[in-house]
């Protein structure tokens, strides 16, 4: 994996600098791409020829019971164990503080025995209040969409297809409200499976879990429709048409629990960003685009327009951004029709045009679209999208303060120029509430929460460090400084990590009064491969995962990459 933007010398086009990429407004405009983890997973499964088997289906007519889905790879089998519950409407909540769900899941490492299923039945439904073991990789849960779930059952039970407009308006039957991996609640540590070839990259067990959950949501709704039809003496219920099935993804509600992740995992985030930026630089360096490539790209843009056309959000900020995107894509379509890609270095020309013409939403949508036609330039970069964070842990105490100052000036220049004695730049406090240990964001000057502050304001901390270094000999070592100032140990470790990994740090103030947590959420979720970002406030967001994707039983016959954008309609 490339560790530095300087690596771009192999290519004709430099990587975009971190000062341009690592800004919250731009990160909050990122889109799924070929490098997104859902795409990576489906390519791996397709390449390795995995098989799938719904081994257990013991679910009664009220929808209560257990099901298992085995995903059988060349070397190992993984099994989604799904517990389906009867949840009263009033208990259904997407908030992390909920205590019951419509369905709960774990991804089992192997094929579970009946004893495993029994053990898990006493823990998985409890989620955070239960314990799983090293045999489990992921713990998750989901709630039914009140808007769509019963509609689909009723239509199918009456022998009809669900209403397409309603399916499109929601996009999923169930929403996951948490997908926990990597050692959480007793599950296997990442180190247990990180070396397995099928899980190279990031979040692959989590993505596999969600993809199998999607299959479960379709199975359970058809099962309940069948039961309903039987109960009403209607004969057999309808099955959902294959084309319509594809329009169901898995919803997800994500709140502040995920927001600190991008700040807390700097070395990992560098690998994600560097992969995406390297891919962009490679495509921008392509010398010419053939007629076929131009036509394919125009088709892709038409599909992205269709996607933008059907993407809605009730949130004022996001709906304005969607409006801007639609205008941008219309402008892009005209620009292409005027022969934009016929010059030499067509993608470089197009990208430069976009930077001068389009909104951030439009620019970042274009970046993701430009990667689509070039799997041979892009897809290998996915393998580098993970980091051994332990390797970055040890502080280099032999570093001179002169070098540390250079890093601070380079990475945190904006922070060193900020007056942190004012209230606005430090108005917010990230803290963890004792209720369900949920990360929250509070107001420093309105709530008594400062003593509980999490280390999620690196800009402010860098500014404090710089002030503490005044009067120190630049030739002195970090080790000597830390003996006097252990309170700066955290930010020094971080600054050194960022010094080695330039995309590791956000160049914005994560504790400012104007900061929008949804920008952090969207950035991370775009790397997952999520679509239809729909903020519900400035600090939680709904998305859809795997909408349009093939199902496990279809993948062998499908292109694993041909689903991110919906088919274009004939009249744009």
Partner 1 sequence: MSWSLGEAQALAIKAARGAGYSWGLAEEAGFSVRWLCGRGLPGPQALAAMLATVDVQPMLRPDPAAPKWISGRGALCPLALGAALVDRQTVPGESCQFGPVQSPLLLVPFVAQLPFDGKFVLKWDGAGFAFDHGHIAIVGSPAALIAPRGVCTLQSGQLSAANTPTATTRVPLEAQPHIEQLLGFAARTYAPATDQSRLAGAGAGTTDND
Scanning residues 67 to 126, which ones bind partner 1 (CB under 8 A)? 89, 92-97
CB nearer to partner 1: pick between 306 and 438: 438
Phi, psi of 438 (to 5 degrees): -95, 130
Find the shortest distance in angstroms from Cβ 144 to partner 1: 9
Q: Binding mask 420-459 vs partner 1 (x if CB under 8 A, - otherwise)?
A: -----------xxxxx-xx-xxxx---x-x--x--x----
Strand stretches in 311-414, DSSP E: none
Binding residue (CB under 8 A) for partner 1 from 190, 282, 294, 305:
190
Binding residue (CB under 8 A) for partner 1 from 484, 559, 562, 572:
484
Query: Is the four-CA dihedral 296, 298, 303, 308 of positive or negative sign?
Result: positive
Do the Cβ atoms of 171 and 547 come closer than 8 Å?
yes
**Nearest-10 Cα torsion for 375, 381, 386, 389:** -170
439 closest CA partner among 254, 228, 170, 224: 254
Binding residue (CB under 8 A) for partner 1 from 54, 85, 184, 245:
184
CB nearer to partner 1: pick between 329 and 404: 404
Question: Six-digit token pair at 220?
Answer: 């359970």
Binding residue (CB under 8 A) for partner 1 from 207, 220, 336, 492:
492
Q: Which part of the chain contacts partner 1 (CB under 8 A), choosing from 64-72, 138-146, 302-310, 522-530?
A: 138-146
Q: Would you count residue 537 as binding partner 1 (CB under 8 A)?
A: yes
CA 210 → CA 30, 92, 192, 266, distances in Å?
21, 20, 20, 25
Cα gap 334→323, rounded to integer Å: 17
Find the shortest distance in angstroms from Cβ 262 to partner 1: 17
CA atoms within 13 Å, Cβ hemisphere of 159: 6
Scanning residues 279 to 338, which ones bind partner 1 (CB under 8 A)? 314
Q: Which part of the chain contacts partner 1 (CB under 8 A), choosing from 178-186, 232-240, 496-504, 558-566?
A: 178-186
Cα gap 568→561, rounded to integer Å: 16
Find the shortest distance in angstroms from Cβ 212 to partner 1: 22
CA 454 → CA 353, 430, 449, 458, distances in Å?
41, 5, 10, 10
Q: Would you count residue 517 as binding partner 1 (CB under 8 A)?
A: yes
Question: Six-digit token pair at 238?
Answer: 């309808």
Size of the site for partner 1 (CB under 8 A): 70
Cα gap 286→277, rounded to integer Å: 15
Scanning residues 201 to 230, which ones bind partner 1 (CB under 8 A)? none
Binding residue (CB under 8 A) for partner 1 from 52, 527, 540, 565:
540
392 closest CA partner among 506, 273, 498, 272: 498
Scanning residues 335 to 374, which ones bind partner 1 (CB under 8 A)? none
Q: Which part of the chain contacts partner 1 (CB under 8 A), choosing from 190-198, 329-337, 355-363, 413-421?
A: 190-198
Do the Cβ atoms of 552 and 212 come closer than 8 Å?
yes
Binding residue (CB under 8 A) for partner 1 from 232, 467, 489, 553:
489
Cα gap 27→262, rounded to integer Å: 11
Q: Binding mask 388-427 vs partner 1 (x if CB under 8 A, - otherwise)?
A: -----xxxxxx-----------------------------
Query: Is the four-CA dihedral 189, 194, 200, 201 of positive or negative sign?
Result: positive
Find the shortest distance in angstroms from Cβ 536 to partner 1: 5
CA 261 to chain CA centroid, Å, is: 11
Phi, psi of 54 (to 5 degrees): -85, 90
CB nearer to partner 1: pick between 365 and 386: 386
Q: Which part of the chain contacts partner 1 (CB under 8 A), choosing from 17-25, 303-311, 417-425, 476-484?
A: 476-484
Cα gap 126→444, rounded to integer Å: 34
Find the shortest distance in angstroms from Cβ 308 to partner 1: 23
* Binding stretches for partner 1 (CB under 8 A): 89, 92-97, 131, 133-134, 143, 145-147, 182-192, 253, 255-256, 314, 393-398, 431-435, 437-438, 440-443, 447, 449, 452, 455, 478-480, 482-484, 486-493, 517, 536-540
């Amino acid at each position: 994996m490339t560790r530095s933007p300087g690596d771009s010398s192999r290519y004709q086009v430099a990587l975009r600098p971190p000062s341009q990429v690592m800004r919250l407004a731009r990160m909050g405009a990122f889109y799924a791409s070929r490098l997104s983890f859902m795409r990576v997973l489906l390519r791996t499964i397709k390449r390795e020829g995995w098989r799938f088997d719904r081994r257990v289906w013991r679910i009664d007519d009220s929808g209560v019971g257990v099901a298992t889905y085995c995903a059988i790879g060349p070397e190992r089998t993984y099994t989604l164990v799904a517990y389906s519950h009867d949840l009263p409407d009033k208990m259904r909540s997407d908030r992390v503080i909920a205590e019951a769900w419509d369905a709960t899941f774990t991804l089992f490492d192997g094929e579970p025995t009946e004893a495993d299923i029994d053990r898990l039945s006493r823990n998985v439904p409890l989620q955070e209040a239960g314990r799983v073991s090293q045999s489990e990789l992921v713990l998750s849960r989901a709630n039914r969409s009140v808007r769509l779930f019963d509609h689909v059952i009723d239509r199918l039970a009456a022998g009809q297809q669900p209403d397409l407009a309603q399916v499109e308006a929601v996009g999923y039957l169930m929403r996951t409200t948490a997908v926990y991996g990597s050692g959480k609640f007793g599950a296997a540590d990442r180190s247990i499976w990180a070396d397995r070839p099928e899980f190279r990259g990031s979040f692959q067990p989590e993505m596999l879990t969600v993809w199998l959950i999607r299959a479960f949501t379709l199975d359970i709704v058809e099962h309940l429709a069948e039961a309903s039809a039987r109960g009403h003496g209607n004969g057999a219920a309808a099955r959902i048409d294959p084309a319509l099935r594809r329009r169901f993804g898995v919803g997800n509600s994500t709140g502040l629990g995920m927001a600190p992740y991008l700040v807390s995992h700097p070395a990992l985030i560098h690998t994600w960003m560097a992969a995406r930026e390297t891919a962009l630089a490679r495509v921008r360096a392509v010398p010419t685009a053939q007629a076929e490539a131009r036509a394919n790209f125009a088709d892709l843009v038409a599909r992205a327009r269709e996607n933008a056309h059907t993407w809605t959000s009730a949130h004022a900020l996001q709906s304005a951004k969607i409006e801007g995107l639609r205008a941008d894509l219309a402008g892009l379509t005209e620009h292409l029709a005027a022969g934009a890609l016929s010059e030499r270095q067509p993608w470089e020309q197009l990208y430069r045009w976009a930077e001068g013409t389009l909104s951030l939403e439009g620019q970042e949508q274009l970046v993701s679209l430009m990667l689509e036609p070039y799997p041979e330039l892009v897809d290998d970069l996915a393998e580098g999208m993970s980091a051994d964070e332990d390797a970055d842990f040890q502080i280099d105490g032999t570093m001179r303060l002169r070098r540390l100052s250079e890093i601070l000036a380079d990475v945190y220049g904006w922070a060193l120029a900020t007056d942190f004695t004012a209230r606005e730049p430090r108005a917010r406090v990230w803290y963890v509430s004792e209720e369900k240990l949920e990360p929250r964001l509070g107001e420093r000057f309105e709530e008594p929460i400062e003593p509980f502050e999490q280390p999620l304001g690196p800009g402010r901390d860098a500014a404090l460090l710089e002030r503490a270094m005044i009067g120190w000999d630049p030739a002195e070592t970090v080790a000597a400084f830390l003996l006097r100032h252990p309170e700066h140990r955290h930010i020094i470790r971080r600054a050194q990590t960022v010094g080695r990994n330039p995309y590791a740090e956000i160049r914005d103030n994560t504790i400012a009064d104007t900061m929008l947590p949804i920008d952090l959420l969207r950035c991370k979720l775009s790397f997952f491969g999520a679509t239809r970002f729909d903020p519900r406030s400035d600090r939680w967001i709904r998305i859809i995962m795997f909408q349009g994707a093939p199902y496990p039983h279809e993948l062998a016959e499908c292109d694993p990459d041909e689903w991110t954008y919906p088919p274009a309609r004939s009249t744009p």
